[in-house]
Structure 1
Amino acid sequence: MKDTHDALLARVAALEARNATLEAEKCHYQWLAESTTDLISRHARDGTFLYASNAARELLGFEPEELIGISAYQLFHPADLSDLLNKSPQVYYHNGFYQQTYRFRAKSGRYVWFETTSRTRRDPTTGELIDILCVSRDVGRRVRAEAHRERLAQVVESTSDYVLFVGADQHIFSANEAARRQFSLPRENPHAPLARVYTPASLDVLEQIVLPAVARYGSWSGELEMLGRKDHLPVLSVVQAHRGRGAELGHLSLLNHDIRLRKEAEAQARRHQEQIAHANRLATMGVLTSNIAHELNQPLGAIANYASGALLQVQAKPEQPARYLAYPLEQVDQQIQRLAKRLRHIRTFVRKGGTQSRPVALAEVAEAAGSLCQWQYQQARVHLDLVLPATLTPVNADPVALEQVIVNLMLNALEASRRQHDANIVQLSAELQEGNQVALHIDDQGPGVPKAQQAHIFTAFHSTRAEGLGMGLAISRSLMEAMGGQLSVSESPLFCGARFTATLRSVAP
């Protein structure tokens, strides 16, 4: 009897211990439900809240007790409730588990994006729905990020730029619609090499310059050429490495903007500038007509004199040996060569064509420009002083364009000197400056250029003379910039007039 009583007491003690354990687990689970930042809730079959954890306070602004008795369906956004009731594909279901991302109205009236996982409990015998257990979390940040990415993806897909995504193997694995249409790429898994879309020259640039730069700095931008349907397609490319969380190593984005219209506009602007510069040279030659006549008249006169002398010798002594005519004929030949050289120079000066920079001797170009202007200076009784050091290094310039600039500046300096009664000299000098630059200075004794006008004097149609068109200096600056140089004006440190300075890059001999 005693053994039976002890066994009964042991069973009672075990049952009490088990109940204590269950109660402890229940308290533990209760503590977990109340401590988690997710909203734990239990609902009746009509969606009525039967229980809500403390997270309701933080997520929705409701006290847990306020939600008891309220149907959760009343707080759904109408569109999202329709998805749930109509079993939209957006509502995931599998073996009694539901998952949906939807908008849920908070106490303040605003909607919070929730992602809820629901589990239905049913009577194992009848299959009748007992209740619904839900775990909900705020996914507003994720939804907004996904919406932002989707908007960006839509922009990328709809842009007219050619957007390519390249893997570590330098093969295209995705492209937007414009690129697919232009380069005949499939929508799904194109896996095309870059040689499919870029020219061989641009592929070399990508391999030798772009990819190393992107690996080091993360991005690169510059001009490349793609393979158009009929000819090469110039593009402004931005290459960006994929970095950050989740990025695949070696993946790149290549954004290519079609710049054909810009290139054509630039080419048209260059042609227009060349036409204006050519017209300016023709106008300058009109001003220099008297000098040209003087230059041609001297060799022609000498040729006539030597030819006349030789003819008189032949008429006076027809029997004399031909060697006696060698000297006058040599002089005639020298004058013809000189005349031909002057004509070639004039023809080159007025030729029509774009600037083509190459290493040239600045002193030679300056002396040639001075010879063109010499007759005008002699007529005006103004001395043109050339101070050109023999140690000057060559400069990178187009000789015809540079000569045009110097002639324009010389004629402007002469015109400025004519306004001053006591002006009698214009100096052209050159010097090597820091930064591998050569500066050509033209100083005059004219009235100078007021500081208020120095910023506008190179503007087209701006002139300090009533009869001036205001194009010479504008064209001169354009030509200097086309050669990679600069043209500026300041007060002359030598005289009371102005100093115009043309600066060009020096070329090591």
Structure 2
Amino acid sequence: MPHLNTLVRLLREAAPLGAQADALLALCRARPQVARALYLTWQPRSRSYEAVGGGERLPPGAGDPLQADDDALHARLGACRQLPLETLMAVPGWLGGRLRRAGWSHGLALVLPLRGEPGVLLLATDEAAGSAWLDWLGELLGEVLALAGGARRTAPLLAAEPLPALLLDAQARRLDGNPVFDRLAAELGLDDPRALLPANHVQLLRGCLEQARALQDAPSEVAGRQFLWSFIPDVGNGEVLVRGREASAQIQGEREAAKARRLYRQIIENTTDLISRRTLDGIILDASPASWTLLGYWPEELRGQPALPLLHPQDRERVARSTRDALEQDGYVTLTYRLRHRDGRYLWFETASRAIRETYTGAVVEVVSVSRDITARVRAEENLRRLAEVVEANTDLVLFVDPAGRPTYFNPSARRALNLDGEAIPASLDGLFDDALLRQLERDGWRCADERSVWQAEGYLRPRGERPPLPVSLVLLGHRAAGGERYYSLVARDMTERELRENQQRRHQDELAHTARLVTLGELASGIAHEINQPLAAVVNYAGASQRYLQSLGSNPDAAQRVAQGLARITEHANHASEVIRRLRAFLRKGQRRLQALDINELARESLGLCAWEAGQGKVAIEQALTDNLPPVYADRVLLEQVFLNLLRNAIEANRERHAGAPSAIVIGSALEADGRLCVWVEDDGPGASAETLERMFTPFYSSKPDGLGLGLSMSRGMVEGFGGTLQAHPAEGGGLRLECRLPAAGEGARRA
């Protein structure tokens, strides 16, 4: 049985002719009745039969082999299925003689084709054994060959294959399949098991047969599971063995790995950081495309080049030493240094490097580095350092305040000025600001700093200890952090010296104003003398008349009454003279300024009294256009009266210059403007002023008069601005000049003053 199974398997597997012939001969020789067995195949070229397989070989026949043939025997065997050996050797031809020379005498010749080729099986037996059983053996072998030849052949070891396998013909029809394949198809619920194969399996099958080569790892997907199939062709039989394996985890892993590789590659190619590989000695192996953006070199230009020459000369030795030591010991290092751009400038870089080691020896085989351009950051840090040095060395007081209003930093100047040396930072600003400044800060400061980023004020700070209040000009700056949080900076400038200068300047201005008043009174001396002489002359006249009436008391009954009337007139005119002198003394007053609420109309009328005689001498009428019930202004009475007097005298001089003694008029008026300020204006009917004169009119020592000093209007503007007001000049409608003095109402004026 083993020989028969072997023969059938080889026939089904279409084994080579020699292997099939050996299996057939082994089966025959296993029978004790068979003495010899030989399988012969027809050779068309030599027209003779030749032995096949590992059996015996026949000796050559008699005569010339080139002239010999077995055509007659081949024709005889083609017409029958078997022939006694004696009959075969009697047929004329080459084979009979060879058999006789080989000692063949009794047996049977069976016509048994193998692999579709004509062939003859020769069986020799002892003559005593008979030939009946040979006929039976011939029929049996004929049936076996017929059945094996007509049966479907299977792939080698198909049943024992642990992976799903399928045998297909050239038209992709199933010839056979192993149990693993069938179980997998049933598990997936497939009506046609071939649905497990790739959708293009027909084309793959034809391709592997035409190309006579195996195709591997053709993918298919069924119910979310991945499979890889190999197509192994049997070109001779026009069949293909298809073997597969499930690769869901592998394909998923490969897809994830490919996705990760694409992602990493995309990151490397698009990142703004420079990613590079180099040897431990600094030879660049590869670089990302960011090298062009950062350094002006393409990766191809950097490959194979040493990295050290790109470093700044001052950084080379430090970087080379630190990098090699750290990578060999720790495997990781981060350094900051300068690299030269292609255009010659140097940029700051921060590089993190990691060593890649050989698995078994631990030696560093290459270094992977990620370099980032930190030039902007280094410059920003340098600017911050310089700014910190400026803040520390600044003579102004600098405070940092958090969103809750708590101070977090005082520069040295602030600590010295506030007497905080050695003390902790105060918890709030309450004890550092005077009450008025603190109220302004709470009312307007924080809001303005949030809305407009800046707020300014002036006030006083309170140093610790017994030090006097410190006058400062304060600026509050509002900042916004990257996260949107608010924080603040307070910059205060010590105004002590400015106050001293302003006080000194004010004293100088007051001295100059007093001198100007003396000069003015000197210029008005005639008018003042006339105004005093009139009441004095009246006093003398009334005194003389009273004396005469006293002498006639006895004879004149009305004398006593006349004396009483004269004394009353004397008192009246004496008081008038006293009032004139009082006004003169007040106008000439010298001393510290006294700011008070004043009626601007009353002050204007008093100024009219001082210059009325001068106006009368020049035939200049003064018209009043004063608005009643105006709010008061906050100023120094004497200085403001001097301003009005200067404006009136300038107007009188302008009219006298133009009209030369002819009658003319000037107007003084007052009004409350829409913005809440009070305006006192004096308009003349003089020659007016050019545009250049209007621009220079308030410049010190500039005057259009031949004998003028050019200080009147300049001093007047300075005094008005000191009260928080303005003094301006405009052309009048009639061709003259209009001077306008604007002053804030009492509350606002007091704050500004």
Q: Flag whether TM exceeds 0.5 (same fold).
A: yes
Aligned to 1:300: 536
Aligned to 2:587: 349
Aligned to 2:679: 438
**Relative to structure 1, is the Cα distance of residues 297 and 190 closer, same or farther in structure 2, using a 3 angstrom cutoff?**
same
Cα distance in structure 2, aligned partners of 1:490 and 1:440: 12
| Highest RCO, 1 vs 2 (Cα 8 Å, sep ≥ 6) | 1
Q: State the TM-score, normalizing by the size of structure 1.
A: 0.82
Q: Say yes or no: does 1:237 pair with 2:470.
A: no
Cα distance in structure 1, aligned partners of 2:526 and 2:256: 115
1:438-491 CA-partner distances (Å, limit 9, x unpaired): 3433424x5444455333333332233322223233333333444414242524
Cα distance in structure 1, aligned partners of 2:731 and 2:488: 51
1:6 to 121, 142, 162: 162
Tell me if structure 2 keeps the 8 A contact 1:363–1:388: no
Aligned to 1:464: 704
Q: What secondary structure sits across from 1:252 in the alignment? A: strand
Q: Say yes or no: does 1:426 pair with 2:665.
A: yes
1:42-96 CA-partner distances (Å, limit 9, x unpaired): 33222222343344344333343443333323322233333334549xx999953
Aligned residues: 500
Per-residue deviation, 1:280? 0.9
Cα distance in structure 2, aligned partners of 1:178 and 1:129: 56
Per-residue deviation, 1:286? 0.8
**Relative to structure 1, is the Cα distance of residues 390 and 465 closer, same or farther in structure 2, using a 3 angstrom cutoff?**
closer
Cα distance in structure 2, aligned partners of 1:191 and 1:329: 75
Q: What secondary structure sits across from 2:430 in the alignment? A: helix
Q: What secondary structure sits across from 1:347 in the alignment? A: helix
Tell me if structure 2 keeps the 8 A contact 1:34–1:54: no
Tell me if structure 2 keeps the 8 A contact 1:45–1:131: yes
Unaligned ranges ≥5, structure 2: 1-156, 166-179, 181-242, 748-753
Mapping for residues 345-494 of structure 1, pairs under 5 Å = 345-353=583-591, 358-380=596-618, 382-389=619-626, 391=628, 393-394=630-631, 396=633, 398-419=636-657, 420-421=659-660, 423-430=662-669, 432=671, 434-435=673-674, 437-444=678-685, 446-483=686-723, 484-491=725-732, 493=734
Q: Say yes or no: does 1:84 pair with 2:316.
A: no
Tell me if structure 2 keeps the 8 A contact 1:42–1:133: yes
Q: State the TM-score, normalizing by the size of structure 2.
A: 0.57
**Relative to structure 1, is the Cα distance of residues 43 and 30 closer, same or farther in structure 2, using a 3 angstrom cutoff?**
farther
Tell me if structure 2 keeps the 8 A contact 1:395–1:506: no
2:418 to 165, 173, 183: 183
Mapping for residues 58-207 of structure 1, pairs under 5 Å = 58-85=293-320, 87=322, 95-123=330-358, 126-185=361-420, 190=425, 192-207=427-442
Mapping for residues 205-216 of structure 1, pairs under 5 Å = 205-216=440-451
Tell me if structure 1 keeps the 8 A contact 2:332–2:353: yes
Taking only the aligned residue pairs, the percentage that are identical comes to 34
Cα distance in structure 2, aligned partners of 1:110 and 1:459: 55
Decide which structure has the larger Cα Rg and report it.
2
Per-residue deviation, 1:276? 1.5
Per-residue deviation, 1:253? 1.3
Unaligned ranges ≥5, structure 1: none
Cα distance in structure 1, aligned partners of 2:329 and 2:493: 47
Aligned to 1:43: 278
Tell me if structure 2 keeps the 8 A contact 1:395–1:505: no
Tell me if structure 2 keeps the 8 A contact 1:116–1:134: yes
Q: What secondary structure sits across from 2:315 in the alignment? A: helix
Q: Say yes or no: does 1:219 pair with 2:454.
A: yes
Cα distance in structure 2, aligned partners of 1:390 and 1:49: 91
Cα distance in structure 2, aligned partners of 1:115 and 1:390: 77
Tell me if structure 2 keeps the 8 A contact 1:359–1:507: no
**Relative to structure 1, is the Cα distance of residues 184 and 7 closer, same or farther in structure 2, using a 3 angstrom cutoff?**
farther
Per-residue deviation, 1:5? 6.3
**Relative to structure 1, is the Cα distance of residues 39 and 452 closer, same or farther in structure 2, using a 3 angstrom cutoff?**
closer
Q: What secondary structure sits across from 1:242 in the alignment? A: strand
2:502 to 262, 266, 281: 266
Cα distance in structure 1, aligned partners of 2:244 and 2:416: 80
Tell me if structure 2 keeps the 8 A contact 1:219–1:239: yes
Cα distance in structure 2, aligned partners of 1:215 and 1:492: 47
Q: What secondary structure sits across from 2:705 in the alignment? A: coil
> Aligned Cα RMSD in Å?
4.1
**Relative to structure 1, is the Cα distance of residues 450 and 57 closer, same or farther in structure 2, using a 3 angstrom cutoff?**
closer
Cα distance in structure 1, aligned partners of 2:739 and 2:409: 54
